[in-house]
Structure 1
Amino acid sequence: MDSNFEIGSDAESGRAAILLVEPHEVLPPAAPIQFAGDGECEVDHERCVTQSTTVDLAPIIAEIREQWRRRQSWHRAEKSLTLQSKALCRRLAEGGDKKEADVIYKAALGTGEHPMAEIAFAAMFPLTEARDGVERHRKLVEKRLAKLAKQLPVAAWVESVRGVGLASLAAIVGEAGDLSAYSNPAKLWKRMGLAVMGDGTRQRRIAGVEALDHGYSPARRSVVWNLGACIVKAGGPLKEIYDARKVYEADRVETKMHAHNRAQRYVEKRFLRDLWSRWRRAAKEHL
């Protein structure tokens, strides 16, 4: 039988923890059955012993952060190898034409035809072979991240939100760490690139002295933007909030795309606020 998980607390540290509950072990009766008068019988009931061990969340969060960084590094390596392969194809295209280079690249990978396809394949082979190896290992890391995220106390709630899954939870924890460390959702928003600065402008990449105050990371912002896009596409309660917000924003901005971006940003912040609240509540309940 598989082990089960329950939320509990570590008696020594007092930190929120997951209880690993082993399957019930059924012990034999303490005494044999004894028949009494009138055909009745007396028997000691079977005893069930449950053994529990605490699993500290800190190592789980630490591993998520390390595995996420590894995943991001490998993903960047894949993109770099793809760009290098396309650069080789561009050298084979007449006049370095980008469109023809794309045709050569696809033909070399088996989609379409081009006279330079075989030459391109030979030139690209070490790069594509390396990329395939990186991709294979990246997917294994992503599976590991999902398993780790499944052990977090908010996993069940996250999976109930349409458009969001364990991969998204792992990405947020990978970028932000333990959400209990943020005293309010506004600080989590800033970590993920969604803050409103003191002058009323949105947090963004900026040069000069103000860059330190903004603390903007395009990679972290990308994680939440992708999350918001999935929520909008999936439908559900958050999509309804998006729709209402988009109507509200339409009267305040000039274009539909601007209204869409503002409404999606609003939903992203709403989800992070709810996630932060659920996380903190779980931590307090099991201290």
Structure 2
Amino acid sequence: MDRIELPGKPRRGRAARRDLSPNDGTPPAAPHSEIGASADREAGHCSDAPHRSAAGLAPHSEIVSREAGEGEVGPSSCEPQVPPADLADQIAELREQWRRRQAWHRAEKALTLQAKALCRRLAEGGDKAEADRIYGAAYGKGSHPLADIALAATFPLTEARDSIAKHRAAVEKRLVKLAKALPVAPWVEGTRGVGLLSLAAIVGEAGDLGAYANPAKLWKRMGLAIMPDGRQRRTTGAAALDHGYSPARRSVVWNIGACIMKAGGPLKEIYDARKLYELPRVETKGHAHNRAQRYVEKRFLRLLWCEWRKGGGDHRGPDTHRTRVASVTPIPDAA
């Protein structure tokens, strides 16, 4: 279980565990480095400025450069919200159901890999391609002389996997039902490329989004922050505590970004504009794609955070927001 040291009071003899959000949804602390604080400058806020939903996103001229940050407006700071008891209970159940779903999904993948490993023992020389053909033939895809032997060897594993899959599907239905009851559900359903299960995944990994004082802290939780030594990533040693990086959380947002790219819509238009901007700045089209998708992922999380604050309820009144909207630096159209 993650633990947080109080600010300014690190434990003796070990690195301070800061910036790591506990399981109850408490937001991670902001980066203490001046360079790391650029993540806060990338954050946007929607409480005072006119809100822009997925149906009315900023045009290409409002996409700022990477040096200026991956957002449109300046820093904001909001006190963490305390959700109503019913919403808190709903979020708690959603998080537990999501963890259960993830554990069962990992078990499914492990059983599949074990079954394929048994087929590799049957393949000549342990060839993986041959093992895949044996595995497919054992379950009706093609034919192979060793298909019957492979079926007998792997059937207990695949039977257990299929049983887990049925229960996982039931949990996913429950997750969708819980996500649909969240105040931001109508906005999410109106955003192309994003569904209620994706919303459940974000809340399952991040907890109550209202507990994050600004979008930059949510980015940090989901693995999208800018750190003093570069982008947030998996690392070792004391730096691992500062990064607080989870590949599972990062993959959730990456999958959402990939779906947005395929679905089209306003966020895809933002991606296209950002990719044109990045192309002359990087070596390959692949780098431009990755940067543009990362930009859109952060944009989506920021919009979701704003909608949560607005629709999910600022339960403490309108005067508790302390915001500052900065000027937007336009960039010229790419040639």
Bucket of the pairwise TM-score, normalised by the shorter protein = 0.7 to 0.9
* Shift of residue 198, structure 1, vs aligned partner: 2.3
* Shift of residue 97, structure 1, vs aligned partner: 1.1
Q: Which residue of 1 aligns with 2:299?
A: 270
TM-score by length of 2: 0.69
Per residue, is there more helix in 1 or in 2?
A: 1
> 2:263 aligned with 1:230, yes or no?
no
Cα deviation, 1:200-244, whole Å, max 9, x if unaligned, reads x11000111101000000000000000000001100000000000
> 2:271 aligned with 1:209, yes or no?
no
Q: Does the CA-based 8 Å contact 2:278-2:291 persist in structure 1?
A: yes
Cα deviation, 1:64-107, whole Å, max 9, x if unaligned, reads 10000000000000000000000000111111111110100000
* Shift of residue 152, structure 1, vs aligned partner: 0.3
* Shift of residue 283, structure 1, vs aligned partner: 4.0
SS in 2 for 1:251: helix
Q: Which residue of 1 aligns with 2:129?
A: 99
Cα deviation, 1:114-166, whole Å, max 9, x if unaligned, reads 01000000000100000000001001100000000000000000000000010
Match of 2:224 among 170, 186, 194: 194
Greater RCO, 1 or 2 (C-alpha within 8 Å, sep 6+) = 2
Paired letter, 2:97: Q
Bigger Rg over Cα:
1
- Cα 1:184/1:285, change in 2 over 3 Å: closer
SS in 2 for 1:275: helix
Q: Does the CA-based 8 Å contact 1:15-1:56 persist in structure 2?
A: no
Partners of 2:91 and 2:170 lie apart in 1 by 18
Paired letter, 2:194: V
> 2:311 aligned with 1:255, yes or no?
no
Partners of 2:119 and 2:203 lie apart in 1 by 39
Q: Which residue of 1 aligns with 2:91?
A: 61
Partners of 2:283 and 2:270 lie apart in 1 by 21
Q: Does the CA-based 8 Å contact 2:82-2:210 persist in structure 1?
A: no
Report the aligned-residue RMSD: 1.3
* Shift of residue 285, structure 1, vs aligned partner: 5.0
Q: Which residue of 1 aligns with 2:60?
A: none
Q: Does the CA-based 8 Å contact 2:184-2:312 persist in structure 1?
A: no
Q: Which residue of 2 aligns with 1:87?
A: 117
Task: Give the alignment of 1:1-287 within 5 angstroms.
Answer: 16=83, 56-199=86-229, 201-284=230-313
Partners of 1:202 and 1:219 lie apart in 2 by 17
- Cα 1:191/1:285, change in 2 over 3 Å: closer
Paired letter, 1:167: L
Per residue, is there more strand in 1 or in 2?
A: 1
What is the count of residue pairs matched by the alignment? 236
Partners of 1:249 and 1:239 lie apart in 2 by 15
Partners of 1:245 and 1:209 lie apart in 2 by 34
- Cα 1:284/1:132, change in 2 over 3 Å: closer
* Shift of residue 167, structure 1, vs aligned partner: 0.4
* Shift of residue 16, structure 1, vs aligned partner: 5.0
Paired letter, 1:110: G
Cα deviation, 1:172-195, whole Å, max 9, x if unaligned, reads 000000001100000000000000
- Cα 1:284/1:110, change in 2 over 3 Å: closer
The gaps in structure 1 that reach 5 residues or longer are 1-13, 18-54
* Shift of residue 282, structure 1, vs aligned partner: 2.4
What fraction of aligned residue pairs are identical, expressed as a percent? 76
Paired letter, 1:220: R
SS in 1 for 2:226: coil
Partners of 1:282 and 1:114 lie apart in 2 by 57
TM-score by length of 1: 0.80
Paired letter, 2:169: K
